[in-house]
Structure 1
Amino acid sequence: MSTTDDTQPPRDDRQISDPLLGVLVDNRYRITAQLARGGMATVYVADDERLDRPVALKIMHPHLADREDFVARFRREARAAARIVHPGVVSVFDQGVIGSQGYLAMDLIDGPNLRVLLQSHGPVTVERALTMAREILEALEAAHTVGVIHRDIKPENVLICAQGPVRLTDFGLARAVFESSHSTTGSMLGTVAYVAPEVVTQGHTDARTDFYAVGILLYELLTGLVPWCGKTPIQMAMHHAQDDVPAPSQIVPWLPTDVDELVAYLTARDPDYRPPHAREAIEAINQVLAVLPPEIAGQRFREAGTQNSDFEANTSIVEPVTMTAALPSGLLENTHTTIRTSSSVSVDLSAAHTPHRGRRIALILTVILSVLGVAIAGGLWWWNEYGPGAYVEVPTLAGSTADNAQSVLENMGIGILREDEFSDDVMSGYVIDTDPSAGGHVHKNGEVRLRISKGIDMKVVPPLEGLSHKEAINALIDAGLKAGTVSEEWSETVKKDLVVSQSATAGTSLAHDGTVHFVISKGREPITVPTLTGLSADEAKGSLTALGLLPQVNEAFSDTVEEGKVISQDTESGTTQYRGDTVTYTISKGPELIAVPNVFGKQEKDAKALLESAGFTVEVNRFLGGVFGTVRSTDPAAGTMVRRGSVITMSVV
């Protein structure tokens, strides 16, 4: 089960009369049974109807919601506790409000708490005590890492599981109650048996406060008792503030010195002498376990009884120490005088008729005046140390410079806890807010948390070029930036599906909510080869150049195509090429010119054959009948450059 503070199993009549049984909380949690009831909350078993699982539903008592700021503080602390993920921590699944009462939905643990174990079995073995303390510290290490301090370590908040480590519960609840009441009442919440000296004297808590409580818990696991058992809560609190925790070997003589030193290390009165972090405390326990003799490790102390009934570690509100007291009955013998020092004084003088009446009256008055003096002095001390006089109002510091805010608090004698964080609205070096906030109250020896702006959170733009789309998105997320518009374009140098360019230069800075756009490559741009045949040389070249293609020109004679125009193209029109590819085509040089052969003096038949073989058409003019058959001349004359196929006229005599 998951319990809180001084929770005890309820009686059957509570089950019958509890008005929450059967109620559906937040349209999700159906309350089926009351599990336990304590000073701060009642724990129920509920069915999570959304996820079909049993949960522990812890509902705060109505009196804790009387203060206006309690619910807000409770929600904030619940969110912080939910960040803790560790096998030794009872998981917080959900939180909300039913009526005015806050609730937590938590893991339902099937097992008793450590208080039940101690009451039924007494001390555990030395090895088991050290192991439990280590498991609690491992859970605290996870909590402290995310900035959550427990503040109420005690057996009731340690649950025993059938398997695995012990489970720690009730993170954040103590602080929510403490902060909602402390600013006005001056009272101190905490189980007195486990309260650290700095809480008693200053109301201050940090991680080392938890380590002190673990040390007390280890003492109890070993001895079956808490230190100073049998004292009143006020006396016990004063012992914590003024005395060192006794060595457990004073009760268990056979305990090694190493165990005594470990308890002393965890419970040092000065927090600076305790472990600074949970890891150091864990290592200290590991060192003791490593040297623990086997015959000691398995032993447990059997002479101690169960926990004293006056100190079953019920969570108490420790009111400021007062001087109110009753005088011992033997102080004024043979009288019925009763004197109580409080805001009013009552005196029973039923024995005033005795022979020594005057002397007795004088004695009574002397006692009254003495006690009144002590009461007044004690009241003034309480007023200034724990009462309203011990608290000062937190001034408005938001918007002022950090130096000015620190100066104001230092002049008031208030300690400072500085937290630097980014802010989109407050300039760097200026106060965002304080905790407690302006108008709240803090002990004059306490601390105010200053949240100082570091300005806008600027992120460095990562290089995206050459990354895939998914890689670019992840790079921006890792850098704390957002991906903007993703477009596509052709690229001759970047492979398909990789980033070509980005809107913000890599290495520059953008605000944490800045957006970076980038372009993805579609690969090389396909280009359709145009028809070039019939175009002039310049037209063909210009057409290809405009498309990004490179012209490769050949020349040839053509009897049919005008000189300077494209005869043909080797790269056919309509085919696909890419920018920078070559397109080959042929430009006409016009008809081919041939020199007329010299046939002078040749016989007609031979001359005609020679001219025709050269590609010419031959016509014959015969003079004087051409009786001799000899060529005397040609037209055009021999050696003249003419087009193939031209007509050559021979003169034959």
Structure 2
Amino acid sequence: MDKYLGKKLDGRYEIMELIGIGGMANVYKAYDIIEDRIVAVKILREEYMENDDFRRRFKNESKAMAVLNHPNVMRVYDVSFSDKMQSIVMEFIDGITLKEYIEQQGVLKWKEAVHFTVQILRALQHAHDKGIVHRDIKPQNIMLLSDGTIKITDFGIARFARSETHTITDKAIGSVHYISPEQASGDTIDARTDIYSVGVMLYEMLTGRVPFEADSPVSVALKQIQSTAPTPRSINPSIPEGLEEITMHAMEKDVNKRYQSAAQMLRDIDEFKRNPSILFEYKYLNAPHAGDDRKYSEAIQSARSSKGKKKKAKEKEKVKRAPIIPVLAGVTAAFVIVTAAFIGWMIYLNNPFVKVDDAIVPTLVGEKYDNVKISPKYSDFTIQVEDTGFSDEYAKGIIYEQSPKEGTTVKVDSIIKVKVSTGQQTVTLPDFSGQDAAQVFARLDEYGLVYEETSIFDDGIPSGCVVKTNPGEGAQVTAGSLITVYVSMGKEEKLVTVPDLIGIKLDDAKKLLGDNYKLKLGKITYDNDSDEPAGVIIEQSFAPDSQVSQGSAIDVVVSGEDDDNMIKLTLMIPLPREIGRQVEMSATLDGVEVQKDTLVPAEAKTWKPVFEGEGGKADVAIFFDGELYQTYELDFDRKGHTPIGDYSSEFTE
């Protein structure tokens, strides 16, 4: 038994159950008795407690996640490091991994893939702004909640971009199907590595498969470095061209041709969402850049050569003008005297030689502006509001951007300009019912909302017009929210299957048609010459299993009057149609077997046992190969029956 189950860690976390087993740690569901909430506790396995590398990676994960505060990143509440145990207390997420969701769906709708990708990129931009590179972005490390929210987890191999302590082996860590070419080859990596991994995930969501497959991880890594992936549209032609361009641009093998930040990729996605037919055509990627050593060197050499030519021209011009130097000497001397006097006066006023202390710019992003402006922590700086604006990430009054960036060295009393959030931009949804769907989609795009179309039948709304939305009229939603739009396909002509009425009493047929099939009994004709028991149907106008419109009338022929005092009732027992072998059906009336037949359910479809009685009520049991199948109560006076128990769902092939 797991030694942590039922234990209380640090006097507050009651371990409830093991919910995950990872490469170096186990994850438990626990109850925080102080905060009265369910949490997840990640504990480093005992066998790795003596391994310095694993201990370093585990601490690095807690350090990386602790500095992040973003709705799409799993939150860290607490950490504990000792010689006996190392643990991280995190937000508990009740969901599945994005990998599991992709495997369930096969291929995702492009709108859904974009919805997930936007959340991932926003979280990564936040991490990259903090100087953190995840290095292991893959769908297995992305949690998906039931409301469509994404949470990035597992920062176990993340590192701080400014850290100088990484090693060559650190650089190549990652999941081989999602690592970048520079990661696979062991080169230095930065935030653009995460962008490549996002591109691979977007590729997988759109096509249902990863770009590169091979027999071994090494072979996959070599393909990441050398091979070109098939274009997404060659696998799934329904993908818009603009989205394909975004995907392939994120997967550029040359880091300098790739998106340089999550923000750049988000901007293209925003453009695509506004106009799904957009084409980006990244032709500028062929221009010289700093990553191309030869072209870059040629550009530098050209610039230097041009500069040298200009310098020689100026020297020649200076030689030609040499005779006028004595004329200008007096003017120059006067200018120098005036300038020196002005500089002396400024020195006297400002005293620039007085030493001003340096200070490190703090992190203001994510802080409440009202608190920052009065807090003594920031007394070494002058905080100025440069702008305000809507923000999907930060609540009203929270700083969402600052200049200079955190960690910059400046002089005391320097100005830090900040931008403060006015909250998420909200939209009150109007009533779209009855409006043309194309016009409604255009309106939703203007509002900055993501929409998903669902087609339904509706008797009152013309085809191609909106029936309703979810959320509905009057709902307040934020920019980027997903709106389900139900579009009418017009009135539905509903068809039903005609049941087999042969051998059934007239009253039973009427009840059966009305209750179960939304049909009605039509013209009734009697046949006194029939050999069948009196009062039962011997012919019907529509053949059994034929399709007719709901509400149709079924004409029947009934056998002549029955002079016998005995009342006969016939039950129509539905059979499991997937069973193609012979079975034995039997029926008892008040415990006495009255009928037994051998038949094939897939062919017979129904079994019609007949019961006789002089009046009153009786109990019927139906058996399938000797096992209880259904039970009924018969009422011979009313010539009807009532189902009591149904166990038919348990009988399958």
- TM-score with structure 2 setting the length: 0.42
Q: Which has the higher strand share?
A: 2
Greater radius of gyration (CA): 1
- TM-score with structure 1 setting the length: 0.42
